[in-house]
Chain A
Amino acid sequence: MSTARRRRLLSLVGQRVVQIPLVLVVVSILTFWLVQVVPGDPGRNALGQYATAAQVQAWNVDHGLDGSLVSRYLHWIGGFVTGDWGTSFVYSEPVRDLVLGRLGNSLLLGAYAFVIMVPVALVLGAVQAYRQGRRSDRAVTVGLLTVSAIPEFVVGIVLLLVFAVWLRVVPVQASGALDAGFGERLRVLTLPAVVLALAYLAVLTRMVRAGVIETIRSQFHRTAVLKGLTTGQIVRRHVVRNALIPTFSVLGIYLGTLLGGSVIVETLFSYPGLGALLVSAAERKDALLLESGVMLAGALSLGALLLTDLLFVVVDPRIRFERRVTA
């Protein structure tokens, strides 16, 4: 790695290292404030209607829920940073175990969707680029955009109807997936993963297409053709690598969302992931669970963003980082 590149990498890391904690602090304050705006006494919610006022008061003091908003925030964020995320009111379980366990499930589903999505996008995008302007190119674009415009729960319902109800190849619910063996788990998770992948396929394919077209038009591609390399060699050595570059930026934006759990898909398939957990936490006003879960999802997304930025600089020596931000 050249000195200039290393310097750029360092300055980028420095920038993000300042930026990301700042955004996380803002997110934590906003989330905390928003959750506390919710009416209802957490002590009362936790202990039920038969507890005395004194018991409720004692419970609130115990959980750092008395005092001003600021002191409560400091108490919570202090606990969060040191790994003490409190106890969920609704599930009566330590928030950390609950959130991290669900996160694991979401990661599994997200990774599966990712594995389905990336190769399909690469192939589709490359085929489109080589047939640029033809009818098949246009058809794929319109088809994918249409699919990505339809809400996941509608796409999911249609696929469920076809594959679970009529063809009976997969079960209707994915909740049993986690106790089963690997093969069975894969079978059950396929439908949710496909729905998740379809939602992001259009954007990704479009980026691959743009990347391949740019490469095909380049001088080095022409040179490669003129010096008599076979198509396979050209695609492998020149096209794939360059086409991947713009794809990275999109992956970074979606990776966090994908891994942090898709609220809709998890709810539709009754899959115990982080997204579904956070929805039920919001519905039942489980403050600590919601705050910690949102913080984790945010940190994960920003981490993914940082990672892609780094990959970006490492993979492509031409990238000036500023250009991407202003584009």
Chain B
Amino acid sequence: MTAVVPGALATDAPVATGPEQTAGSRRARRGWRALLGRPTFLVSVAVLVWWVVLAVGWHALGLQPFAKSGELLQAPSAAHWFGTDSLGRDVFARVAAGARPALVIGPFGAALATVLGGTLGLVAGFHRGWVDTALMRFFDVLLALPSLIFLVVLVGAFGVSTPALVLIVGVLFAPGIARIVRAAVLVEMGKSYVQAARLQGESALRAMLTELLPNVVGVFVVQAVLSLGAAIFITASLSFLGLGSQPPAADWGLDINANRAYLQAAWWTVVFPGVAVASIVVAANLIADNLKEVAE
């Protein structure tokens, strides 16, 4: 987060920005310490790390998500921690392997949305004028449209390949982020350091990148983490609808939908993937929440 500071100091800075920047980095350090003292933040990070480890390493752990490894629909036991599904596959292995699709599309989609929406918000907030008005009015109305229905249409057209899903999630989330970043930029624009930079003859691009961006970067980070949670939420929902990963892939949404028929006979085939989705999305939201509170 403080990586942007050196660039800002390299300008022949007016007296005002010097102390402000060091105060900023001191604040950032204090922010980190405050974060590490928050139990919800630590637990959420641990949950996220747990899923990342499984997503990367389930293969190395010798888990068999695709093979029949026991009797059909066995209740959880020492041999099968989460039981087995209707094809005799180990539910724990499938839940572990299901972390991978969730953690591929989620982060990349969220990153794309943040860059796209953040840039639009930054430019719109900085330049104002009719471009800003047109863009924001358009987003205003766009955000009122039911997003999942449009997602269904987009997926129908572009397919469910990973790059397509990343692109779709990125484009879908960008307007919301643009609006929030713009609001943050508008607040900053009223402050004198921006005017000072402009009067000093800094170009628009330079003023945006070296003056504005470091001061709204907190908003960026919070939005990125929030959209990570939302992206995982959305991709799981798509798989649940049968519009994401296809069988026999190990995917939480897909497994929940496939095992729905066994809800009465074998709750574990549905509940464990459900808990997995819920834990990762809630963790992302709590991290964003904590970041926001510490930033304030």
Contact = CB atoms under 8 A, between A and B. Distances in A.
Interface of A: 19-20, 23, 27, 31, 34-35, 37-38, 145-146, 149-154, 157-158, 160-161, 165, 172, 252-253, 256-257, 260-264, 267-268, 275, 278-279, 282-283, 285, 290, 293-294, 297-298, 301-302, 304-305, 325-327
Given A294-B149, A301-B146, A305-B144, A34 B157 contact: yes
Contacts of A326: 136, 183, 186
A256 B144 contact: yes
A278 B186 CA distance: 40
Given A149-B281, A165-B264, A34 B153 contact: yes
A264 B241 contact: yes
A257 B149 CA distance: 9
A157 B263 contact: yes
Given A145-B289, A154-B274, A23 B141 contact: yes
A20 B145 CA distance: 11
B251 to A, nearest CB: 13
B186 to A, nearest CB: 7
Nearest to B267: A161
28 contacts: A20-B141, A38-B157, A150-B277, A151-B240, A151-B281, A152-B237, A153-B256, A154-B256, A157-B260, A157-B270, A161-B263, A161-B267, A172-B264, A253-B143, A256-B146, A257-B147, A260-B149, A261-B149, A263-B152, A263-B241, A279-B152, A279-B241, A282-B155, A283-B243, A290-B156, A294-B149, A326-B136, A326-B183
B233 interface: yes
A298 to B, nearest CB: 5
Counting from the closest, the 4 A-B pairs by CB-CB distance are A282-B156, A34-B157, A154-B274, A150-B278
Contacts of A34: 153-154, 156-157
Secondary structure call for the B interface:
helix
A34 B156 CA distance: 8
Interface size class of B (residues with CB under 8 A): 35 or more
A38 B156 CA distance: 7
B81 interface: no
B227 interface: no
Contacts of B136: 325-326
B137 interface: yes
Contact of A305 (B141, B158, B186): B141
A23 B282 contact: no
Contact of B153 (A150, A252, A290): A290
Nearest to B141: A23
A290 to B, nearest CB: 7
Secondary structure call for the A interface:
helix
Contacts of B149: 260-261, 263, 275, 278, 293-294, 297
Contacts of A158: 271, 274
Nearest to A306: B144
Interface in B248-282: 253, 256-257, 260, 263-264, 267, 270-271, 274-275, 277-278, 281-282
Contacts of B240: 151, 153, 264, 267-268
Given A34-B157, A263-B152, A282-B155, A298 B145 contact: yes
B107 interface: no
B285 interface: yes
B179 to A, nearest CB: 9
A167 to B, nearest CB: 13
Interface in B144-170: 144-150, 152-158
Contacts of B277: 150-151, 154
Contacts of B241: 263-264, 267, 279
A266 to B, nearest CB: 10
A153 to B, nearest CB: 5
Contacts of A256: 144-146
